[in-house]
Amino acid sequence: MDPQNMNSEAKMLLTHAKTLRLHTGNLVNRSRLKKKCPSSPSEELQDCIQATLSDWSSTTKPPSKDFPGTLDCSIPRATDAITPEERDELRVSVKLFLCESVQSSIRDAVEMVSKALAVSQLDSVIIAPPWPLDSDSQSLAHLQPAWEELEALVRSQQIAAIGTSDLDKDLLEQLYNWAQVKPSSNQFNLASCCVMPLDLTAFAKEFDIQLLTHNDPKELMSAATFQEAVQEGMQDLNIADWRLEWVLRYSIIVKSRGIIKAKGYLVSARKASP
């Protein structure tokens, strides 16, 4: 089958699907992305979505019967399944960016990455909830539903430790006092301030919370950027009614050497109901 027909088959699948699940595979080994160095996590994710959809559409086949409601776009050769023999030597760390306040998204994302990596438990999950972009105000009430879902996954042993992103000292203290499963870490964006606030540092030290730095933007990917990435990967496809649900970034780290063995993204998007 020529590439044009393959692409049309992929478009037909996407047109009929209600949910899109995309797995970029291991970026450490992905030659296409090595030709240029993304300037930001947002640009890296956009490149990944475009490249994965382009690769997937060139190899996909039409369904033998009904069109699937959930479309799995992944490149089999690029996945990062961990063997039981090497599991103890590796640490699996995840950051989950929620684009919508849907608690089932957390469980879906955790189960999807666990299946993709062939592990029964993730070592750590950091949550980045969808804070209001037009306001600096963050509240415990906004974070609680997501945290309760994470706590349930810790109790079922699907996650070992859970953490937060961009909480100031007051909100981190409120969460710590309220939570049944305490946060083990809190990420801090040095772009907003070049030095960790002293009150945050003191509180984290007192309650054994690890402070980590990151350079992720407040909004990892806008709806418009997501749609642009899909259109670049799938030429001439109308995706105006697709919306991003969540983005998960994982890292597989060799414990003894502290090096990243694998890194990738999982993305979930849903078609808006007519």
End-to-end CA distance of the chain: 34
Between 125 and 60, the more confident residue is 125
Q: Residue 112: helix, strand or coil by DSSP?
A: helix
Rounded CA gap, 124 and 18, in Å? 30
Q: How confident is the model at residue 36 (pLDDT cuts 50, 70, 90)?
A: low
In this prediction, residue 5 carries a pLDDT of: 45
**pLDDT digits over 217-239, tens only?**
888 998 888 888 888 877 666 67
Max mean pLDDT range (40-49, 150-159, 232-241, 264-273): 150-159
Between 195 and 141, the more confident residue is 141
Burial (Cβ within 10 Å: 0-12, 13-18, ≥19) of residue 206:
exposed
- What are the residue ranges of helices labelled H in 179-236? 198-206, 223-233
Whether residue 178 has pLDDT greater than 90: yes
Q: How confident is the model at residue 4 (pLDDT cuts 50, 70, 90)?
A: very low
In this prediction, residue 22 carries a pLDDT of: 92
**At residue 163, what is the residue type?**
G
In this prediction, residue 134 carries a pLDDT of: 55
With a pLDDT cut of 90, the percent of the chain lying above it is: 50
Rounded CA gap, 241 and 273, in Å? 8
Mean pLDDT calculated for residue range 124-147: 82
Mean pLDDT calculated for residue range 26-43: 71
In this prediction, residue 112 carries a pLDDT of: 94
Whether residue 273 has pLDDT greater than 50: yes
Tell me phi and psi for residue 98, to 5 degrees.
-90, 125
Whether residue 186 has pLDDT greater than 50: yes
Least confident segment among 24-28, 45-49, 163-167, 213-217: 24-28
Mean pLDDT calculated for residue range 174-192: 93
In this prediction, residue 116 carries a pLDDT of: 92
Token duo for residue 135: 């306001």
Mean pLDDT calculated for residue range 266-270: 93
Whether residue 64 has pLDDT greater than 60: no
Token duo for residue 217: 């933007």
Model's pTM, two decimal places? 0.90
Between 41 and 60, the more confident residue is 41
Q: How confident is the model at residue 6 (pLDDT cuts 50, 70, 90)?
A: very low
